[in-house]
Structure 1
Amino acid sequence: MSTTTPMTPMSAAHHTLPTGSPLSRFGWTLADAWTITLRDLNHWVLRPGTVIVGWVFPVMIVLMFGGLFGGAIGVPGGGGYFEFLMPGMFAMTMLFGLETTMMAVTTDAARGVTDRFRSMPMSASAVVLGRCVADMLNSVVGLVIMIGTGLLLGWRWEGGSAAAPAAVGLLLLLRFALLWVGIFVGLIAGGPEVVTSVQILVWPVGFLSSVFVDPATMPGWLGAIAQWNPLSTTATAARQLFGNPGWGGESWIAQNATLMAVVWPLLLIAIFLPLSARGFRRLGG
């Protein structure tokens, strides 16, 4: 009578992945990644509450800051506060989804779902890439909702038809980079309770930026940190491209915000994308 040895995470590493040319293996990776993407999207359809709350929460922040505090906040160069706030909140929305990514990755690992993926002959990159694609689709919807909210509140872009898509591209580039940070943290976290602790850090990062106020109103050292925040560079670049009021300054980072809105995300991707793939391969090993 034969017996079957249960599959363990360690034995998963011995499964044979598809062989062939690099192009063929890349095609397998994309196909596997799309399968993971569809699995994540199906979960959202079955449990839409979390996704909808994630879309509505930034709208509530806009209404709170714009309606309650907007009249007391001076806008650099004049103009309405909503015009200043909306590009910053677009960037802030790209940061808010970080917690959702971390929690989803950590939950899959804690429930053994990730181990089951590792027991299959599929690319390690496909699993994390599929998660990333699903969250990017979610972020696109969230950004569209925020832009619609801004238009309803009187926000307009004045930078021309070519500049506006460039601003949206920079915002989504930031989101793509932050997704890999969230995936990596989710993979190395010991459990959902660790992710909850990390979530607390999202708010200081968001507020220590130019999203809500001009860093020139902060103490000198604090304002310098805020200017170098990747969230600030993307928010500032978006304001410039949308033609909205923003903050200037003589510092190098203030004069090169659009450049750094590309450099910061690319740097984060270069660091955390390979770390995420490596973390997945080593998970449970």
Structure 2
Amino acid sequence: MTALARRGDGGALADGLALLGRHLLRVRRAPGLFVLTQAMPLILLLFFGYVFGSALTLPGDGGYRSYLLPGLFTAVAAGGLMTGMMQAAQDAQRGVADRFRTLPISRAAVPLGQAAADVLVTAAGLIPLALVGWAVGWRVEAGAGPVLGAYGLLLLFRFATCWAGIHLGLLLRDEEAAAQLGSATFVLQLVSGAYVPTSGMTGWLRAVAEWNPLSAVAAACRGLFGGPAAGLADVPGAAWPMAHPVAASVGWSLVLLAVFVPSAVRRYARGGR
């Protein structure tokens, strides 16, 4: 039985909130990873939006850049996989996790505090991307409710991917290995509908991309934000996640949480073994 079960959900939540400040302070003192993960979407916006955008014709005044912004929001949300992995591996390799295990707190507290802090930092980090996107032509044409729903969906997905990253980081227990694997996760963004419509992909690649969770989240955000790009995923032959992107996005997030929250807590409690 884990410490989470012994203390109950209330104890785990209270301990996790107590450790939330530690993880926020950690970002403040070592902002490199935060800057990297938040600056990269801005670079991709300027590069893809003006280099690839000149070769792609999509409807609407914003053109390709209006299509690209929700995909970049999704990339930020998926970045929880890399940050969760690197921070967990760092704590494990440097012995910080072992010291926390000696304290009389829930075994779920440290990963919960890390994931919660990551979501708060991401919520703030989405603002600069939205402002730059607005400056280059992206517009929101939906009401406040759908827009808040889109941001909530992004943060839910970030929370879920962060737990997946924490599990992998505790499994690797090595900062360098986590950094290399984290960089490789960029492939998940490329094989999805985040940057280009999946309808133009070849058969097998389209199937892989449309069942990629990032494709569903990006399509859901496009639909919730509104605008000309909202209906581009609704094409004949689209897989179920693309035809029902909001439901698929919530489903993918819940599946990730159901798998990786208990596995990350168990691995943390066993010291990564």
Give the equivalent residue in structure 1 for 2:269.
281
1:144 aligns with 2:127: yes
**Shift in alpha-carbon separation, 1:130–1:30, aligned structure 2, 3 A:** same
Give the equivalent residue in structure 2 for 1:83.
66
Answer whether contact 2:82 2:183 (CA < 8 A) is retained. no
Q: Which residue identity does 2:244 align to in structure 1?
A: N
Q: Distance in 2 between matches of 1:190 and 1:82?
A: 39
Larger radius of gyration: 1
Q: Which runs of 5+ in 2 are unaligned?
A: none
Aligned residue for 2:144, secondary structure, equals coil
Deviation for aligned residue 1:28 = 3.2
Deviation for aligned residue 1:26 = 3.8
**Shift in alpha-carbon separation, 1:266–1:68, aligned structure 2, 3 A:** same
Q: Which runs of 5+ in 1 are unaligned?
A: 1-12
Deviation for aligned residue 1:284 = 5.5
**Shift in alpha-carbon separation, 1:125–1:143, aligned structure 2, 3 A:** same
Residue among 230, 252, 258 paired with 2:213? 230
Residue among 16, 21, 25 paired with 1:42? 25
| 1:114-129 matched pairs, under 5 angstroms | 114-129=97-112
Q: Give a deviation string over 1:148-205, Cα, whole Å, max 9, x none.
A: 2211212111122221111111111111110110010011114123213322431110
Give the equivalent residue in structure 2 for 1:258.
246
TM-score, normalised relative to structure 1: 0.87
1:179 aligns with 2:180: no
Q: Distance in 2 between matches of 1:80 and 1:64?
A: 15
Percentage of pairs with the same residue: 38
| 1:1-285 matched pairs, under 5 angstroms | 25-75=8-58, 80-244=63-227, 245=229, 246-250=232-236, 251=238, 252-283=240-271
Deviation for aligned residue 1:88 = 0.9
Q: Which residue identity does 2:195 align to in structure 1?
A: F
Q: Give a deviation string over 1:88-147, Cα, whole Å, max 9, x none.
A: 111011122422221111111111110111111110011110011111111111112211
Q: Distance in 2 between matches of 1:53 and 1:174?
A: 19
Q: Which residue identity does 2:246 align to in structure 1?
A: T
Q: Distance in 2 between matches of 1:40 and 1:200?
A: 22
TM-score, normalised relative to structure 2: 0.90
Answer whether contact 1:17 1:121 (CA < 8 A) is retained. no
Q: Distance in 1 between matches of 2:35 and 2:62?
A: 32
The number of equivalent residue pairs is 268
Q: Bigger CA drift: 100-109 or 192-201?
A: 192-201
Q: Distance in 1 between matches of 2:36 and 2:176?
A: 20
Q: Distance in 1 between matches of 2:105 and 2:48?
A: 46
**Shift in alpha-carbon separation, 1:18–1:95, aligned structure 2, 3 A:** closer
Q: Bigger CA drift: 49-58 or 35-44?
A: 49-58
Q: Distance in 2 between matches of 1:92 and 1:269?
A: 18
Q: Give a deviation string over 1:32-71, Cα, whole Å, max 9, x none.
A: 2123211111122223343233322211111110011111
Aligned residue for 1:64, secondary structure, equals helix
Q: Distance in 1 between matches of 2:225 and 2:251?
A: 20
Q: Distance in 1 between matches of 2:55 and 2:4?
A: 60
Answer whether contact 1:174 1:265 (CA < 8 A) is retained. yes
